[in-house]
Chain A
Amino acid sequence: MKKRLIVLNHVKKSFGDLTVLDDFNLYINENEFITLLGPSGCGKTTCLRLIGGFESPDEGTIEFDGKVINDLEPNEREINTCFQKYALFPHLNVYNNVAFGLKIKKVPKAEIEERVMQTLKLVKLEDYASRSISTLSGGQQQRVAIARAIINRPKVLLLDEPLGALDLKLRQEMQYELKEMQRQLGITFVYVTHDQEEALTMSDVIVIMNEGKILQIGSPEDIYNEPKNRFVANFIGESNIFEGKMIDDYWVHFCGRDFKCVDKGFEEFEEVDVVIRPEDFDFVPPSKAKIVGRVDSLIFRGVHYEINVIVDGHEYTIHTTKYREIGDKVGLAVEPANIHIMKKEASK
């Protein structure tokens, strides 16, 4: 079993009247790339700041490596942070920004120089050592921020939406590089983002949060394929969500028809949410199809078309590489394995 490096136990945190986290429980394994994913205001950044030591919990404990660290200052924790807008020191050049942590620790000068150059090489900035921060592009500043944090060889690196300010191409590049770096360095990464694609690409474990609560924890595949509820299904990728009823084990009824599925163990006629990913629909000849509808709209999205099909008043969103004219009569098919059944939320 993996070692639990960070444990949050019944943590509560409020700012004034606003309770951001309440009875929050989470553990983070060593050498894991874990992503806290959720909409803004869901408490993910607060969670990160609690781990980093920039906030202290009102109730509950935060453990690091088996010890409670509630009262430790950020400078007393073996954790480094890569801040949202980098927070690089404008009065220092690239070299001195990266060397900051080592200088504080009074590491010998020769070693500092060696490690700074080594780290700058890792983030591909070895030629930028004497540059001033203000002359760097967003992507370069981002790399300096990462270099400045990892040079201290922390056990944990906290990353607060570090790629938010970058353009799409650079973001995808950096996602790959971050993942690669995490593998190489063997550091636990705790990554905060609201970008589901980023989370799916990089993480070993994704924690989906909303309104200060954890909705689901799992590998990217689990979360994408088996969302626990409507919110998760909606938040991760695009989804068609229908209200349905379980008729029997492996049989679900929605949109006026009965479908075979792979889920069981529900009560008879239990109301459920049914999720079908847009890419899981196939076009079939209308004569052979169970679902027949008309193409209502079509948008070209690059890799695929996004087609809305109206079937008996229900709207289905479909991602496909096949072209259909607006107004075409189409038949749709979906594999039983691609019909995901979710229990209804108790509240809301």
Chain B
Amino acid sequence: MKTLRRYSFPYLIWMILFVLVPTLFLVVLAFSDLSLYRLSAFSIRFDNFAIFQESYIITALSNSLIYAFVVTILSFLIGYPVAFYLTTLSEKTKKILIALLILPLWTNMLVRITAWERIFSPNSIFTDIFNVSIPILGTQAAVVIGLLALYLPFMVFPIFSVLDKLDPKMIEASKDLGANDTQTFIKVIFPLSLGGVVSGFIMTFLPSLTAFALPETLGWRRVPMIGMEIQKKFIIEGFQAFSINQGALISILIMLFSIASFILITRVDKEGETLI
């Protein structure tokens, strides 16, 4: 088996070059005065933290946290019943419905965002057909609905995969012991699906938190989110001193969320079965 190991090298090297090294770069950038496009000697500096006192960053950050939270909760409320419903279907219907959930994910995200942009414009396809329009571009609602549409499947899948594997004997045992359907759900089914719920939360919360293309398109610039600010910080490098260092620092803050989530997932779901 050892000889097979070398076939994993190309991707491992790729990951070192394009994941590990850039991440290390990001850390160095965040805590120094290094300029990315003019590599030279640099000195450690913590002044970059001042960025977290800027009101526009605070707004963007709190927006991101709030929207991500709202989207996650809504996804859960909408997604859990769907996941549960899927498990009750015959294998064939189940497959068809799952395909319907997956298919949109195979469409490029930017295309889907553009589609929502058209729908939320004053003159959309709905105006032509039904003579109604939903002109909410540039509002929080547009951003939240867009994020919801984008990430809802990621709530459904992990919950479905846990529920689908749930031993039907658990439900029988619960009913045998006198629990009705509601009690069985609260005391047995839901607690046993928590692993999937946590995965679902993380898989909708994290991408919502870091979204930048969607809020930019659907929210124009009126609904700032932290992803947009990071993007800006990196683009305007050169016009403003230490901009890229500040961007790196914000990125690392966001990365901490990812690391915390990863730790949480490995705690609740030791076999990683809920991760797709």
Interface string of B106-140 (1 = CB under 8 A from A): 00000000000000000000000000000000000
Interface string of A58-82 (1 = CB under 8 A from B): 0000000000000001110001110
Kindly identify, within residues 72 to 105 of chain A, every residue whose CB is under 8 Å from any CB belonging to chain B. Answer: 73-75, 79-81, 83, 85, 87-91, 100-101, 104-105
Q: How far is the CB of B58 from chain A (nearest CB, A)?
A: 40
Nearest Cβ distance between residue B8 and chain A, in whole angstroms?
A: 33
Interface residues of B in 45-92 (CB under 8 A from A): none
Q: How far is the CA of A100 from the CA of B194 in the complex (A)?
A: 19
A87, A88, A104: the one contacting B172 at CB < 8 Å is A87
Taken together as a complex, chains A and B put the C-alpha atoms of A62 and B174 apart, in Å, by: 22
Tell whether A148 pairs with B177 under 8 Å between CB atoms, given A89-B188, A90-B192, A100-B187: yes
Whether the pair B176, A74 counts as a contact (CB closer than 8 A) is: yes
Mask for B165-181, Cβ within 8 A of A = 1, else 0?
A: 00101101111111110
CB atoms of A104 and B192 under 8 A apart: no
Partner of B175, one of A73, A90, A105: A73
Chain B residues closer than 8 Å to A80, beta-carbon distance: 176-177
Is residue B10 contacting chain A, with contact meaning CB distance below 8 A? no
Residues of A within 8 A of B191 (CB): 91
The 8 Å CB contact of B183, one of A85, A90, A104, is: A104
Partner of B174, one of A79, A100, A152: A100
State whether A83 touches B173 (Cβ < 8 A): yes
| B178 touching A81, Cβ below 8 Å | no
CA A100 – CA B184 in complex, angstroms?
11
**Contacting pair A104 B177 (CB below 8 A):** yes
How far is B167's CA from A80's CA once the two chains are assembled, in angstroms? Answer: 18
Q: Would B177 and A91 count as touching, CB distance under 8 A?
A: no
Q: Which residues of A are found within 8 Å of B175, using beta-carbon distances?
A: 53, 73-75
A54 at the interface (CB under 8 A from B): yes
Specify the chain A residue showing the minimal Cβ separation from B172.
A54
Interface pair B177/A152, CB less than 8 Å apart: yes
Give Cα A45–Cα B177 distance, bound, in whole angstroms: 19
A148 contacts across to B, CB distance below 8 A: 177
Asked whether B176 lies within 8 Å of A81 as measured between CB atoms, the reply is yes
In the complex, A80 Cα to B172 Cα: how many Å? 11
Report how far A151 CA is from B259 CA in the complex, Å: 45
User: Do A101 and B169 form a contact, CB below 8 Å, given A90-B192, A91-B191, A91-B192?
Assistant: no
Contact assessment for A87 and B169 in the assembled complex, using a CB-CB cutoff below 8 Å:
yes
- Contact of A85 with B170 in the complex, beta carbons under 8 Å: no
- Confirm or deny: A162 has a beta carbon within 8 angstroms of a beta carbon on chain B: no
Interface contact A100-B177, CB-CB below 8 Å: yes
Query: For window 177-209 of chain B, which residues contact chain A by CB distance below 8 Å?
Result: 177-180, 183, 187-188, 191-192, 194
Cα distance A113–B43 in the bound complex, in angstroms = 65
Most buried by A among B167, B187, B188, B194: B187
CA–CA, A83 and B173, complex, Å: 8
A331 at the interface (CB under 8 A from B): no
CB distance from B189 to the nearest CB of A (A): 11
Chain B 144-170 interface mask (CB, 8 Å, partner A; 1/0): 000000000000000000000001011
A244 contacts the other chain (CB 8 A): no
Distance, CA A335 to CA B100, complexed state (A) = 75
In the complex, which residues of chain A have a beta carbon less than 8 angstroms from the beta carbon of B188? 89
Q: In chain A, residues 147-192, which have Cβ atoms closer than 8 Å to a Cβ of chain B?
A: 148-149, 152
In the bound assembly, the distance between CA atoms of A104 and B186 in angstroms comes to 11
- Is B178 a contact of A104 with CB atoms below 8 Å? yes
Given contacts A83-B173, A90-B192, contact A101 B178 (CB under 8 A): yes
Interface centre among A80, A83, A104, A149 (most CB of B within 10 A): A104
In the assembled complex, the Cα of A100 lies from the Cα of B183 at a distance in Å of 11
Residues of A within 8 A of B187 (CB): 100, 104
* With A90-B192, A91-B191, A104-B183 as contacts: A152 and B178 at CB distance below 8 Å: yes
> Bound state CA distance, A74 and B168, in angstroms?
14
The interface residues of chain A lying within 8 Å CB-to-CB of B169 are: 83, 85, 87
A residues near B192, Cβ cutoff 8 Å: 89-91
Measured between beta carbons, the chain A residues less than 8 angstroms from B180 are 73, 75
Residue of B nearest to A103 (CB): B187
A82 to chain B minimum Cβ distance, whole angstroms, is 9
Residues of B contacting A89 in the complex (Cβ-Cβ under 8 angstroms): 170, 173-174, 188, 192
CB distance from A94 to the nearest CB of B (A): 15
Contact of B172 with A105 in the complex, beta carbons under 8 Å: no
Residues of B contacting A54 with CB < 8 Å?
172, 176
Contact assessment for A87 and B177 in the assembled complex, using a CB-CB cutoff below 8 Å? no
> Which 9 interchain pairs have the tightest Cβ spacing?
A87-B169, A101-B177, A87-B173, A74-B175, A104-B178, A91-B191, A75-B175, A81-B176, A104-B179
Q: 18 A-B residue contacts at CB 8 Å?
A: A74-B175, A75-B175, A75-B176, A75-B177, A79-B176, A81-B176, A83-B169, A83-B173, A87-B170, A87-B173, A89-B188, A91-B191, A91-B192, A100-B174, A100-B177, A104-B177, A105-B178, A152-B177
16 new A-B pairs (CB below 8 Å) besides A54-B176, A73-B180, A83-B173? Answer: A73-B175, A75-B176, A75-B178, A75-B180, A80-B177, A81-B176, A83-B172, A87-B173, A89-B174, A91-B191, A91-B192, A100-B177, A100-B179, A100-B187, A104-B187, A152-B178
